[in-house]
C-alpha cells in the first residue's frame, strides 16, 4: 500500500473546468489549455500556433463531468469539431490534456498509454533562419551541426530567384500573393531559376557535406509540372525530402511527383486524422508523412497515423511549431511510434522557450535530442512566472475561469 497514489482515484475523476492562457514571442503565438478536475490534478494541452482559443473553449461543455481517463471515448465525442490545419487546434489540445491527466491519474508517462516506447531519446531537427546567401545558409546549418543536431532542414523557394532576371515567369502581382493555391497561380520557374536553386544547394552541401541528412521546404506556389522539373534537378544532391511542394489535397499530383523523381516526398502538417493521410499512402504519393500533432488529432491519433504509414512502408517525421507543452506531447508520441524519423523544433534560438516549463533539462534539446520523460503524463509543469511574463497583451488572462462556456449546447449527433 505504500506505493499507492492516494491523491487520485481514477474511476471517480471528473473534469470540472477548462481554462486558457495565450503566450507570445516564444517565438510563436500559442494558447495553452488546462483541464481541471474534482481531485485537484489537471492536464495541459496546446492549441496550434495561429489558431483561435475558441476552437478549444467551444468543447468545454462537452467535457464537463466526464472522466478524462476515457481518452478515446472523449476524443470520439469531440473529433467532429476538428478539421484540417488550424481548425483542429481545439480537439488536439484537449486530447493532449486528457493524456496528461490520465497519465497523472495512473502514475505513468503518456507514452505508456500509447503502448510503450521504442526509444529513450527523440531526434530533433530545428528551423534555421532563411537567407538569400547560400554561404551564410551553409554556415548557419554548420552551426546547427556543431550544436549536436544530426538532421537538418532549410528553406529552398522561388523567393531566392526574385532578383534574378529571367528566373521566374508570373502574371502581374501573383508573386506577392500567398492566398492562391499552387495550381492556379500561373507562376513558372525557368531553367535559369532552377539553376539558381541548384547552385544554392550545391554551395550549402559544399559546406555541410553529405553525411548528415538535409531536408528542404517552402518552395513557393508553383504548379506540379514545375515541381517535377525542380525535383529532378535536385535529385543529385540527395536531399532527405522535398516538403509540401504542392497542397496536400492533390493526391494524384503527389503520386505524379513521387513517380517522377528519386528524392523522398513529404507532406502532412495540415492533415487531420488518419483518414486524411490514407489516400496519399494508397496512391504511393509520399515517402515521408509529416503530421503536426496539434493538427493531426493528438497523441493517440498521430501514433495511429504512424502505424498506418508503416503498413505502406512510409516513415513518419513530425512537424512542430509550439511551446514545450505540445512539443512534449509530440515526444511521447514519437517515442511510441516505431517508424518515427525526426521531430521539428522552431525555438532553438529562443532560450526563454526552455524556461516555460519545469521538470526538464535546460536546454530541453540536448545534443540534438529530447529525452523521453518518465514522470506521469506529459512529464512537465508550467513555470508560472515565465508564462505570465509572456502573456499576449491583447489577451492577458492567466487561466481565468470561463463560466461563459459552461452552458453552450447543441445537438451534436451525426445520425438519426
What are the pLDDT tens digits along the chain (416 aa)?
345 455 568 889 999 999 999 999 999 999 999 999 999 999 999 999 989 999 999 999 999 999 999 999 999 999 999 999 999 999 999 999 999 999 999 999 999 999 999 999 999 998 888 999 999 999 999 999 999 999 999 999 999 999 999 999 999 999 998 899 999 999 999 999 999 999 999 999 999 999 999 999 999 999 999 999 999 999 999 999 999 999 999 999 999 999 999 999 999 999 999 999 999 999 999 999 999 999 999 999 999 999 999 999 999 999 999 999 999 999 999 999 999 999 999 999 999 999 999 999 999 999 999 999 999 999 999 999 999 999 999 999 999 999 999 998 889 999 88
* Alpha helix positions (H), 14-88: 54-57, 60-63, 71-78
The pLDDT of residue 5 is 53
The pLDDT of residue 1 is 38
Q: How many CB atoms lie within 10 A of CB 409?
A: 8
* Burial class of residue 400 (count of CB atoms within 10 Å of its CB; 0-12, 13-18, 19+): exposed
- What is the Cα 225 distance to its own chain's centre? 28
Q: Which CATH architecture has domain 113-377?
A: Alpha-Beta Barrel (3.20)
- CA angle 107-295-319, nearest 5°? 90
The pLDDT of residue 177 is 86
CA separation for the pair 273, 298 (Å, rounded): 9
> Which residues are within 8 A (CB) of 35 and not within 5 positions of it... i.e. 6 or more apart?
15, 17, 18, 42, 43, 45, 63, 68, 94, 97, 98, 101
The pLDDT of residue 409 is 85
CATH of domain 10-107+383-405: 3.30.390.10
Rounded alpha-carbon distances, angstroms, from residue 393 to 25, 33, 108, 350, 384: 11, 17, 36, 19, 16
- Please give the model's pTM, rounded to 2 decimal places: 0.96
The pLDDT of residue 264 is 98
* Residue 341 near residue 124, CB atoms below 8 Å: no
Is the sign of the CA dihedral 253, 254, 260, 266 positive or negative?
A: positive
DSSP annotation of 349 reads T
> Which residues are within 8 A (CB) of 405 and not within 5 positions of it... i.e. 6 or more apart?
18, 57, 58, 60, 61
* Alpha helix positions (H), 187-223: 191-208
- Whether 10-107+383-405 shares its CATH topology with 113-377 is answered no
Domain spans of the chain? 10-107+383-405, 113-377
Amino acid at each position: 500500500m505504500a506505493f499507492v497514489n492516494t491523491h487520485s482515484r481514477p474511476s471517480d475523476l471528473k473534469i470540472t473546468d477548462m481554462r486558457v492562457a495565450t503566450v507570445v514571442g516564444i517565438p510563436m503565438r500559442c494558447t495553452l489549455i488546462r483541464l481541471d478536475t474534482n481531485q485537484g490534478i489537471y492536464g495541459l494541452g496546446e492549441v496550434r500556433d495561429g489558431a483561435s482559443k475558441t476552437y478549444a473553449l467551444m468543447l468545454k461543455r462537452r467535457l464537463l463531468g466526464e472522466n478524462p481517463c476515457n481518452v478515446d471515448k472523449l476524443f470520439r465525442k469531440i473529433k467532429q469539431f476538428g478539421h484540417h490545419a488550424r481548425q483542429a487546434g481545439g480537439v488536439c489540445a484537449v486530447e493532449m490534456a486528457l493524456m496528461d491527466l490520465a497519465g497523472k491519474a495512473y502514475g505513468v508517462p503518456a507514452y505508456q498509454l500509447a503502448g510503450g516506447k521504442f526509444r529513450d531519446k527523440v531526434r530533433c531537427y530545428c528551423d534555421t533562419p532563411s537567407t538569400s546567401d547560400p554561404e551564410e545558409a551553409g554556415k548557419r546549418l554548420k552551426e546547427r551541426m556543431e550544436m549536436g543536431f544530426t538532421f537538418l532542414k532549410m528553406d529552398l523557394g522561388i523567393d531566392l530567384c526574385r532578383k534574378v532576371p529571367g528566373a521566374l515567369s508570373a502574371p502581374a502581382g501573383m508573386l506577392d500573393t500567398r492566398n492562391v493555391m499552387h495550381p492556379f497561380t500561373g507562376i513558372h520557374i525557368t531553367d535559369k531559376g532552377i539553376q539558381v536553386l541548384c547552385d544554392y544547394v550545391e554551395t550549402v552541401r559544399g559546406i555541410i557535406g553529405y553525411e548528415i541528412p538535409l531536408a528542404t521546404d517552402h518552395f513557393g506556389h508553383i504548379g506540379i509540372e514545375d515541381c517535377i522539373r525542380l525535383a529532378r534537378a535536385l535529385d543529385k544532391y540527395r536531399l532527405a525530402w522535398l516538403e509540401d511542394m504542392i497542397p496536400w489535397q492533390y493526391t494524384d499530383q503527389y503520386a505524379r511527383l513521387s513517380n517522377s523523381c528519386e528524392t523522398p516526398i513529404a507532406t502532412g502538417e495540415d492533415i487531420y486524422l488518419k483518414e486524411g493521410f490514407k489516400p496519399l499512402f494508397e496512391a504511393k504519393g509520399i515517402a515521408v508523412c509529416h503530421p503536426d500533432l496539434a493538427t493531426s488529432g493528438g497523441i493517440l491519433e498521430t501514433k495511429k497515423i504512424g502505424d498506418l504509414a508503416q503498413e505502406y512502408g512510409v516513415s513518419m517525421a513530425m512537424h512542430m511549431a509550439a511551446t514545450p507543452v505540445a512539443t512534449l506531447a509530440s515526444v511521447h508520441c514519437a517515442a511510441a511510434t516505431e517508424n518515427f524519423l525526426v521531430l521539428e523544433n522552431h525555438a532553438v534560438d529562443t532560450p526563454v522557450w526552455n524556461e516555460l516549463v519545469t521538470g526538464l533539462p535546460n536546454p530541453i534539446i540536448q545534443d540534438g535530442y529530447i529525452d523521453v520523460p518518465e514522470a506521469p503524463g506529459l512529464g512537465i509543469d508550467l513555470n508560472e512566472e515565465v508564462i505570465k511574463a509572456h502573456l499576449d497583451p491583447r489577451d492577458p488572462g492567466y487561466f481565468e475561469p470561463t463560466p461563459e462556456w459552461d452552458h453552450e449546447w447543441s445537438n451534436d449527433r451525426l445520425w438519426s
